[in-house]
Amino acid sequence: MSDNVKKTDYGYEIKWATTESYYSKILVFEHPGTKTPMTFHKEKTKTWFVNSGDFRLRWVNTKEGTLYEHDLKEGAVFHVPALMPTSIECLQAGSSIAETGNVDLNNDDYKINSGSLSK
């Protein structure tokens, strides 16, 4: 794989922009049922745009301590502020999401679990 492509548990990521003030990448999910771990970031904010396919988004409202979920279809947009735990599950093979955020810090990923949190 090239330097801008990273293999993941759900498929792979293609990072296509990195600057001091923002980054952009595409998350490609190869199989239905694959998901990202429930993760939050202390500094990073990001926005997702569903390029293709269907996803189930789970997030925690930390003020209430409540887990929510919502299905995202092609064309959907979701903003993730700092400190909001989220997880994305692929519902259709070959689905992809574009992600753009303010910073891409390697030490700003805090995993709550492996993505198996249920409602």
**What pLDDT digit, counting tens, does each position of 8-42 carry?**
999 999 999 999 899 999 999 999 999 999 999 99
Q: How far apart are CA 43 and CA 54, in angstroms?
A: 28
Q: Which residues pair with 60 in a beta bridge?
A: 67
Question: Which residue type is seen at 52?
Answer: S
Predicted structure pTM score? 0.88
Comparing 30-39, 49-58, 82-91, 108-117, the range with the smallest average pLDDT is 108-117
**Domain regions of the chain by residue span:** 5-111
- Confirm if 48 and 99 have CB atoms less than 8 A apart: yes
Q: Cα 20 from chain centroid?
A: 21
| CATH classification for the domain delimited by 5-111, as one of 3.40.640.10, 3.30.70.260, 3.40.50.300, 2.60.120.10 | 2.60.120.10
Q: Cα 46 from chain centroid?
A: 9
Does 53 score more than 60 pLDDT?
yes
Q: How far apart are CA 15 and CA 26, in angstroms?
A: 6
Q: Which residues pair with 39 in a beta bridge?
A: 86, 111
